[in-house]
Amino acid sequence: MRIEARGLRVSLKGREVLRGLSLAAEPGRLTAIIGRNGAGKTTLLKVLAGLIAPHAGTALLDGTDIATWDRSRLARAVAYLPQERLVHWALSARAVVALGRLPYQPFGAGESDADRAAIEAALAAMDAAQLAQRPVPELSGGERARVLVARALAQEPRVLLADEPAAGLDPAHQLTLFQHLAALATAGRTVVVALHDLSLAARFCHTIALVHEGRTLAAGAPREVLSPEHLAAAYGITARYQSIEGVPVVLPLDVLP
Amino acid sequence: MSGKPQRPGVAPPRLIGGLAVAALLAFALSLAIGPSGFGLGGAGEAADLIFWEIRMPRAVLGALVGAALGLSGAALQGYLRNPLAEPSLVGVSGGAALGAVLAIHLGLSQTFALALPFGGLIGGAVAMLAVVALAGAHGGPVTLILAGLAVSGIATALISLALNLSQNPFATVEAVFWLMGSLADRSLTQVWLAAPPILAGMAVLLFLGRALDALTLGEDAARSLGIDVARTRLVLVAGTALAVGAATSVTGVIGFVGLLVPHVLRPFVGHRPSLVLPASALAGAIFLLVADIGLRLAQPWMDLRIGVLTALIGAPFFVWLVLKTRAELAP
């Protein structure tokens, strides 16, 4: 399913966060949203998830305004992974992942075989099967992050919107996570991640959208978007885009005066 | 499987089944025990009268009110994602208490026996409307707590005012005793009056399980899972108002059940809010029935009111909760 933002305007607490932002994420592609702190990445993802209604512009899912989507149908199509890793009660990791199946369970119904399969597959994909029975508050930050990604995967969404899913993960799990996200995209899903790690974006994402001051400054292939001019304009840094053993790396060098 | 072994626990269906059996036993025991000394098989007109006019309303009320308090406490804790929440926090029991005290103060309860529960019901409903109006539909947990505290505060102030201005010492004593909460000497008519709203409120609250489970992940994630958080909040307040408002209007204020019961039950159901709900309803009924049986057994020595007993049990529990939290937060 294609997800698209057209001329989004959103004000939060009197500040205009999105100022006519347009962008599209295609199925089959892993799309990164990058930009400095406060650029509007999180707000954009929330609009795309149908959690915030824009003051102007529209968010379209599969060509239809998200506001007109039936909420339970939307919940089966789009998974949203918030940046805050909240788990309020001492649920087991498996119970948390199982919450991703709520949109598929009619009231009062227990777990179906499909639910169980999706939960186990999601735990395995995030290398979290061995955490299944542990209470989430006892997990480390990175383990908790993986369990919460698994929750979104268990939702088996056509569109996955993830806000900073790699933050706090060790290098090995960052790589596994992005390999998995890229594989999901290649399998035909639409995957959109907001992130700060430009090297991960350059290496795994098929498309990058650079958001700056509530608008899309550039969008396209990593090589073009991560140009020195764009990085200077958006982040105020000098940076080098290079390739080490065929792996693209973005190395921030210095802050511009 | 590596890692920690699975926690010892009871499978939820078995736990719920066990609690249901225990609740039935406590109910039967409540019917069988009393100062007049006969058991369930008591015969004769006097025994019949005592059974139907005294023990039956008392047992039914104990079960209903205990279940209502336990369930609404569990629902509130689930929605507010706070283990310290209690039904009285949303102002409904304060409003019901004020309504009943006014019925006593204005002398209505002298002329019309059901004025007291009606006053309570009306007071609870008014308090609920005030809380909803104050908190709004989208304010999140904090505004709901603040609105509940504000309405409770107003109700408490007005109760004190009514007691302060009371010219009639008998009315004052009646009001004070009523505020302590009691299951004794309620008629079947009062049970019939309170049961429908209590049951309706409980039915509504039991529907919240899914939403409360999803809210474990925060409001944004819950909404992205298809949960209507604003509606959940309205259903929660309405269900609590019906169940707790009606319960308080007949029995007076019985504190701590709604705080203590869900808290004790939570670890046994893997902390899942949707399972805490039915477990707390059953355990709340058991707790109040057993506490009331204890009162009856102690009656020859001490005439205690059940609200006093639950407070005597509940307050030390709170102290224990503080110490436990302190130990958990210690480095």
ipTM confidence:
0.93
- What pLDDT, on a 0 to 100 scale, did the predictor assign at position A253? 93
* Number of domains present in the structure of chain B: 1
Tokens of A52: 């915030």
Those residues with Cβ within 8 angstroms of residue B55's Cβ, 6 or more apart along the chain or in another chain: B30, B31, B34
pLDDT in tens, A111-132: 899 999 999 999 999 999 999 9
Task: For residue A219, name the pLDDT band (cuts at 50, 70, 90).
Answer: very high
Spatial contact of A186 and A133, defined as CB atoms under 8 Å apart: no
Which residues of chain A approach chain B closer than 8 Å at the C-beta?
46, 49-51, 71-72, 74-76, 78-82, 84, 86-92, 95-96, 99-100, 102-103, 105, 107, 129-135, 148, 151, 155
A173 occurs within a structural domain = yes
**pLDDT given at position B201:** 96
Task: Give me the pLDDT at residue B11, please.
Answer: 67
In the predicted model, what is the mean pLDDT of residues A79-84?
A: 95
Edge to edge, the sheet with strand A3-12 lists: A15-25, A3-12, A56-61, A64-65
8 A C-beta contact, residue A210 and residue A35: yes
Instruction: Give yes or no for a contact between A99 and B213, defined as CB atoms under 8 angstroms apart.
Output: yes
Mean local confidence (pLDDT), A217-227: 95
Measured distance between the N- and C-terminal CA atoms of chain A, rounded to whole angstroms: 43
Q: Does B105 touch chain A (CB under 8 A)?
A: no
Option in A107, A133, A134 nearest B210 (CB) = A107
Work out how many domains chain A is built from and give that number.
1
Nearest to A81 by CA among A37, A147, A10: A147
Comparing A7-11, A28-32, A95-99, B90-94, which segment has the lowest mean pLDDT? B90-94
> Mean pLDDT for chain A?
94
Task: Give the C-alpha distances (Å, rounded to integers) separating A204 from A31, A174, B253.
Answer: 9, 11, 61
Closest by Cβ to A91, choosing from B1, B6, B272:
B272
CB-CB under 8 Å, A49 with B215: no
Share of chain A above pLDDT 70, in %: 100
Query: What domain range includes position A74?
Result: 3-86+156-255
Answer yes or no: is B142 within a domain: yes
B183 to chain A, any CB pair closer than 8 A? The answer is no
Interface check B207 vs A, CB under 8 A: yes
Name residue B128's amino acid.
M
Is B65 part of a structural domain of the chain? yes
pLDDT at B217: 96
Do B272 and A89 make contact, defined as CB atoms within 8 angstroms?
Answer: yes
Q: Is B160 within 8 Å of B137 (Cβ atoms)?
A: no
pLDDT at res. B43: 65
Joined together, the tokens standing for residue B159 give 């109760």
Q: Rounded to the nearest 5°, which phi and psi values hold at A67?
A: -60, -25
Quote the minimal CA–CA distance from B331 to chain A in Å. Answer: 15
Separation between Cα atoms, residue A198 and residue B202, nearest integer Å = 52
The tokens of B38 are what? 């006969």
The Cα of B81 is separated from the nearest Cα of chain A by a number of Å equal to 6
Asked whether residue B35 is domain-assigned, the answer is no
Set of chain B residues whose Cβ sits within 8 Å of the Cβ of A51: 220, 223-224
φ, ψ dihedrals at B263, nearest 5°: -65, -45
Average pLDDT, 10 consecutive residues per value, chain B (331 residues): 41 88 96 75 74 90 96 94 85 91 85 84 89 81 89 94 88 87 87 93 95 95 94 90 91 91 92 95 96 89 88 88 83 72
Q: What is the CATH number of the domain that holds A63?
A: 3.40.50.300
Residues of chain A neighbouring B228 (CB-CB closer than 8 A): 71
Taking the CA atoms of chain A, what radius of gyration do you get in angstroms? Answer: 18
Inform me whether the C-beta atom of residue B210 falls under 8 Å from chain A C-beta atoms. yes
Q: Do B225 and A103 touch (CB under 8 A)?
A: yes
Binned at pLDDT 50, 70 and 90, residue A224 comes out as: very high
Q: Are A35 and A212 in contact (CB under 8 A)?
A: yes
Of A51, A95, A105, the CB nearest to B270: A95
Residue B18 located in a structural domain: no
CB contact under 8 A, A133 and B3: yes
**CB-based contact, B84 to chain A, within 8 Å:** no
Contacts of B215 in chain A (CB under 8 A): 88
Q: List pLDDT tens digits, range A17-26.
A: 999 999 999 9
Q: What is the CATH number of the domain that holds B274?
A: 1.10.3470.10
Q: Tell if the CB–CB gap between B224 and A131 is shorter than 8 Å.
A: no
How many residues make up chain A in this entry? 257
Residue B235: CB atoms within 10 A of its CB come to 18
Beta strands in chain B (DSSP E): none
Closest CA to A218 of A15, A3, A39, A48: A39
Which amino acid is residue B4, in one-letter code?
K
pLDDT digits (tens, 9 = 90+) for A20-46: 999 999 999 999 999 999 999 999 999
For residue A129, what is the nearest residue in chain B, using CA coordinates?
B1
Integer Cα distance of B317 and A240 in angstroms: 61
What is the pLDDT, as a whole number, of residue B6?
40
pLDDT digits (tens, 9 = 90+) for A58-80: 999 999 999 999 999 999 999 99
Residues of A in contact with B224 (CB under 8 A): 49-51, 75, 78-80
- State the DSSP code for B166: -
Contact A86 B6 (CB under 8 A): no
Q: At residue A159, what are phi and psi to the nearest 5 degrees?
A: -125, 125
Structural domain includes residue B195: yes
Between A156 and B171, the higher pLDDT residue: A156
Q: Does B140 touch chain A (CB under 8 A)?
A: no
B215/A contact by beta carbon, under 8 A: yes
SS3 sequence of chain A? CCEEEEEEEEEECCEEEEEEEEEEECCCCEEEEECCCCCCHHHHHHHHCCCCCCCEEEEEECCEEHHHCCHHHHHHHEEEECCCCCCCCCCEHHHHHHHHHHHHCCCCCCCCHHHHHHHHHHHHHCCCHHHCCCEHHHCCHHHHHHHHHHHHHHCCCCEEEEECCCCCCCHHHHHHHHHHHHHHHHCCCEEEEECCCHHHHHHHCCEEEEEECCEEEEEECHHHHCCHHHHHHHHCEEEEEEEECCEEEEEEEEECC
Residue A24, in any domain of the structure:
yes
Could you say which of B6, B210, B224 has the minimum Cβ distance to residue A80?
A: B224
Beta carbons of B81 and A46 less than 8 Å apart? no
Residue B327, burial from CB neighbour count under 10 angstroms (0-12, 13-18, 19+):
exposed
Q: Is B266 on the interface with A (CB under 8 A)?
A: yes
- B225 interfaces chain A, CB cutoff of 8 Å: yes
Record the pTM. 0.91
Nearest to B3 among A71, A95, A130 (CB): A130
Instruction: Considering only the beta carbons, identify the residue of A80, A92, A130 that sits closest to B270.
Output: A92
Which structural domain, as residue segments, surrounds residue B58? 46-329
Single-letter code of the amino acid located at B150: A
